[in-house]
A and B are shown apart, each in its own frame.
Chain A
């Protein structure tokens, strides 16, 4: 089963990391990714730009283009992984490893994938 591991954390804190701190985190995360990649379990990995760089379309009678998202939440979606795991237990283990490597206090949401188009193929 494919799982998306969605990384939530306080953007404010993550952005306040110095370059060295950030590099160190990325290096540790890279090591966990290499492990998964070696097993052929790693799909796309993405780190998102901050929500300040985001633009939203709100659908309605009229589609509105807005700056943001600026949800009044303490944590923001900062990035995601797609990994192949045998079970939820394994997905949780993987998320724990990633969490340990990032060393931050955020939340990882584990969501099984319903549909996946790695090469931009369309759903059949």
Chain B
């Protein structure tokens, strides 16, 4: 790897810690970001000459802090600029700073930074956008592409989120243990949203545009896991991401159409990601503190463990969905459970299970898709046709509609034949 590529990676890896620490000093998101950028520029000049510092994050925090102090002073017009040499000669100071920065402080800085992004006054889509901008350092065009909105709209969304934070009087003190646990869950939920935003792309083309969201969610989950070492929730979350992301190469065909789990070419699943996901899930489960992420990861793990679709342990998946229904009840989870039930107990039981959901899921594409498929299995073709028709009306993407139309065409052909 070239020197510059290595530096780029190191700068990106250190970003959450550095911006988090600078935010602690200056309590100003824009200034913290500017200071980080400035420190990066200096790193690009300094590191190739002097070699990489022992602790890149500490170096960047130190240099960034000095740079931002310049800015603050300049704004106040109180003092002249300090000598540039004095800033670049940071070796001793940097070493002592590195020693002074312990893991606990890193943890709090990154958590604070993420927590600011999940501020309750900010809507979820803005939370994700802000986290991508501030914590991951994605550019506005990149984020705009991922959310399929214009750059101007995304710029506005981020600006608004920042303004809300500035107005909201966000606390900067180190949170106590209960607050930290609570915040960590809030942060986990934004990462979960971020990953899903990337994962549930409407068609193949934008799947590649949104893939960075999945990568960033995984990267942040890994950082959190490193910082919060004994949190099964974060292990489960990361495991879930890895197991899902492992299938990404097999999820779309050459035309960008969705390939359902059962039809996917399992040789295209990423074994390394699956193995790591399984290892993390095993670790998480040892803590005996189940939560929805761990259960979802366990379901994904059962799919990952089946080398052929017919090897899938549907009975276990049914039980896990039952657990999930208890931990986080939702009609969508019951709908998913019905798929497992249709495999273990048959279409009639599954249909009985989803029928009560109709009032809650009357606007949900997948409800009618599954209903149609179950009716079809039961030979109730006319009712199946109606359900498929309702599904098509609710399809959000051409790929979804095309998938249902395939069922309808088959029904048509059967009727003729």
Of A18, A21, A68, which is within 8 A of B229 by CB? A68
Of B52, B55, B235, B283, which is within 8 A of A105 by CB? B52
A74 within 8 Å of B (CB atoms): yes
**Bound Cα distance A82, B394 (Å):** 59
Classify the interface of chain B: helix, strand, loop or mixed: helix
Question: Is the Cβ of A13 less than 8 Å from the Cβ of B9?
Answer: yes
Indicate whether A74 sits within 8 Å of B9 (C-beta atoms), given known contacts A52-B226, A53-B279, A67-B229.
Answer: no
Chain A, range 1-49, C-beta contacts under 8 Å to B: 10, 12-13, 15-18, 21, 24-25, 49
Chain B, range 224-252, C-beta contacts under 8 Å to A: 225-226, 229-230, 235, 238
Question: Is the Cβ of B54 less than 8 Å from the Cβ of A17?
Answer: no
Question: Is the Cβ of A67 less than 8 Å from the Cβ of B230?
Answer: yes
B276 within 8 Å of A (CB atoms): yes
A87 within 8 Å of B (CB atoms): no
Chain A hits for B225, CB < 8 A: 52
Chain B: residues with Cβ within 8 Å of the partner, total of 30
**Bound Cα distance A50, B218 (Å):** 14
Question: Is the Cβ of B286 less than 8 Å from the Cβ of A65?
Answer: yes
Instruction: Tell me, rounded to whole Å, the shortest Cβ–Cβ distance linking A74 to chain B.
Output: 6
Chain A: residues with Cβ within 8 Å of the partner, total of 25
Instruction: Tell me, rounded to whole Å, the shortest Cβ–Cβ distance linking A21 to chain B.
Output: 6
Chain B, range 257-286, C-beta contacts under 8 Å to A: 275-276, 279-280, 283, 286
Chain A hits for B14, CB < 8 A: 12
Instruction: Tell me, rounded to whole Å, the shortest Cβ–Cβ distance linking B100 to chain A.
Output: 13
Of B54, B215, B226, B279, which is within 8 A of A12 by CB? B226
Indicate whether A15 sits within 8 Å of B222 (C-beta atoms), given known contacts A25-B1, A103-B2, A104-B1.
Answer: yes
Question: Is the Cβ of B229 less than 8 Å from the Cβ of A70?
Answer: yes
Chain B hits for A18, CB < 8 A: 215
Chain B hits for A15, CB < 8 A: 13, 219, 222
For the A-B complex, the count of residue pairs with Cβ-Cβ distances under 8 Å equals 62
**Bound Cα distance A70, B6 (Å):** 24
B41 within 8 Å of A (CB atoms): no
Instruction: Tell me, rounded to whole Å, the shortest Cβ–Cβ distance linking B57 to chain A.
Output: 9
The residue in chain B whose Cβ has the minimal distance to the Cβ of A105 is: B52
The residue in chain A whose Cβ has the minimal distance to the Cβ of B238 is: A52
B181 within 8 Å of A (CB atoms): no
Question: Is the Cβ of A13 less than 8 Å from the Cβ of B276?
Answer: no
**Bound Cα distance A72, B107 (Å):** 13
Question: Is the Cβ of A21 less than 8 Å from the Cβ of B1?
Answer: yes
Of B13, B215, B226, which is within 8 A of A13 by CB? B13
**Bound Cα distance A10, B276 (Å):** 19
Chain B hits for A12, CB < 8 A: 13-14, 226
Chain A hits for B13, CB < 8 A: 12-13, 15-16
Instruction: Mark each residue of chain A from 95 to 124: 1 if its CB lies under 8 Å from any CB of chain B, else 0.
Output: 000000011110000000000000000000
Chain A, range 49-70, C-beta contacts under 8 Å to B: 49-50, 52-53, 55, 65, 67-68, 70
Instruction: Tell me, rounded to whole Å, the shortest Cβ–Cβ distance linking A15 to chain B.
Output: 6
B177 within 8 Å of A (CB atoms): no
B327 within 8 Å of A (CB atoms): no
Question: Is the Cβ of B5 less than 8 Å from the Cβ of A21?
Answer: yes
Instruction: Tell me, rounded to whole Å, the shortest Cβ–Cβ distance linking A80 to chain B.
Output: 18
Question: Is the Cβ of A16 less than 8 Å from the Cβ of B9?
Answer: yes
Instruction: Tell me, rounded to whole Å, the shortest Cβ–Cβ distance linking B219 to chain A.
Output: 7
Indicate whether A105 sits within 8 Å of B279 (C-beta atoms), given known contacts A24-B1, A52-B222.
Answer: no
B12 within 8 Å of A (CB atoms): yes
The residue in chain A whose Cβ has the minimal distance to the Cβ of B5 is: A21
Chain A hits for B55, CB < 8 A: 74
Question: Is the Cβ of B276 less than 8 Å from the Cβ of A49?
Answer: yes
Chain A hits for B275, CB < 8 A: 49
Indicate whether A105 sits within 8 Å of B229 (C-beta atoms), given known contacts A55-B283, A74-B54, A74-B55.
Answer: no
Which 7 A-B residue pairs are closest in the complex by CB-CB distance? Answer: A103-B1, A16-B13, A53-B279, A52-B225, A16-B9, A12-B13, A70-B229
In addition to A24-B1, A72-B102, 19 A-B residue pairs with Cβ atoms within 8 Å of each other are: A12-B13, A13-B6, A16-B10, A16-B12, A17-B1, A17-B9, A18-B215, A21-B5, A49-B279, A50-B276, A52-B222, A52-B225, A52-B229, A52-B238, A67-B283, A68-B229, A70-B229, A72-B103, A103-B2
User: Could you give 13 example pairs across A and B, Cβ below 8 Å?
Assistant: A12-B226, A16-B219, A21-B1, A21-B9, A25-B1, A49-B279, A50-B276, A52-B225, A67-B230, A67-B283, A70-B229, A72-B102, A103-B1
